[in-house]
Amino acid sequence: MAETPTTVRAARAIQAERSMSALNRRMNGEHLPRRPQWQCQMCEPDTPWPCHPARVHLAEAYGRDRIGLSMYVGGLLFIVAMELPDVAPAELYERFVAWTR
């Protein structure tokens, strides 16, 4: 049986909220994104998130699990792409995922 668009949207919304909740725990409440602009709440105004301190903290939280880190920020990429539809996908990829290599 095929899922309805409403069901898919609801499932994605739940996943997005879980990802954001996990992000708050991983970041200890520091250097979190201001949504829907996706700018750092602690850095200079208009600093894109993930800022350098956020990247360092996420990398430390995942340790040697670079695949897990990449998968996690890839999930965030999905969320941010929905919230920033005017930003080029390649730019978002560079900002959210490429740094994890």
Question: In the numeric block, which tokens belong to residue 58?
Answer: 């996420």
Q: From its phi and psi, is residue 35 left (phi > 0), alpha (psi between -120 and 50) or beta?
A: beta
The listed range with the strongest mean pLDDT (9-18, 67-76, 85-94) is 85-94
What are the boundaries of each domain within the chain? 5-100
- Burial call 63-88: b when 16+ CB within 10 Å, e when fewer: eeeeeebbebbebbbebbeeebeeee
Q: What is the pLDDT at residue 1?
A: 52
Statement: residue 17 has pLDDT above 80: no
Question: In the numeric block, which tokens belong to residue 36?
Answer: 């829907």
Taking only the tens place, the pLDDT of each residue in 21-42 is: 778 787 788 899 999 999 999 9
Q: What is the pLDDT at residue 26?
A: 79
Taking only the tens place, the pLDDT of each residue in 46-78 is: 999 999 999 999 999 999 999 999 999 998 998
Statement: residue 4 has pLDDT above 70: no
Q: What is the pTM of this model?
A: 0.80
For residue 88, what is the DSSP state? -
